[in-house]
Amino acid sequence: GAGVSQSPRYKVAKRGQDVALRCDPISGHVSLFWYQQALGQGPEFLTYFQNEAQLDKSGLPSDRFFAERPEGSVSTLKIQRTQQEDSAVYLCASSDSGTASYEQYFGPGTRLTVT
């Protein structure tokens, strides 16, 4: 597609439920990032993939958070046993690290509400 897409756009989960958020990066982009944005805050880094390799997961807040990109394109962020503090917008970005600019292109985000 022309840009980064994410699904679902909105997700309401009951506390304790597992959720899976999907990101489709721009075709050919080797780098993929996940960010968490709480209300009124800037995005916070969660994890980074280069192709299928997860090179940095230092931002994942707990072991309930898991991300994968098995074929180096689509990525899934999974949150197990959701808690209310997980409520946020989850943003995905991709980048063509083959270019000098290293510009990141963002998807529209998935707004997760845990009740």
Partner 1 sequence: KQEVTQIPAALSVPEGENLVLNCSFTDSAIYNLQWFRQDPGKGLTSLLLIQSSQREQTSGRLNASLDKSSGRSTLYIAASQPGDSATYLCAVPPGGYQKVTFGTGTKLQVIP
Site for partner 1 in 9-38 (CB under 8 A): 31, 33, 35
Q: How far is CA 5 from the centre of its chain?
A: 11
The tokens for 69 are 């990109």
- In the bound state with partner 1, the residue whose beta carbon lies nearer, of 88 and 93, is 93
Distance CA 102, CA 71 (A): 22
Distance CA 55, CA 45 (A): 13
The single residue listed with the structure tokens 């995005």 is 43
The tokens for 113 are 């509400």
User: One symbol per residue from 50 to 89: x for binding partner 1 (CB under 8 A), - otherwise; what is it?
Assistant: ------x---------------------------------
**Shortest approach of partner 1 to residue 111 CB, angstroms?**
7
- In the bound state with partner 1, the residue whose beta carbon lies nearer, of 45 and 66, is 45
Distance CA 86, CA 89 (A): 9
User: One symbol per residue from 93 to 112: x for binding partner 1 (CB under 8 A), - otherwise; what is it?
Assistant: x-x-x--xxxxxxxxxx-x-
Binding site for partner 1 (CB under 8 A): 4, 6, 31, 33, 35, 40-45, 48, 56, 91, 93, 95, 97, 100-109, 111
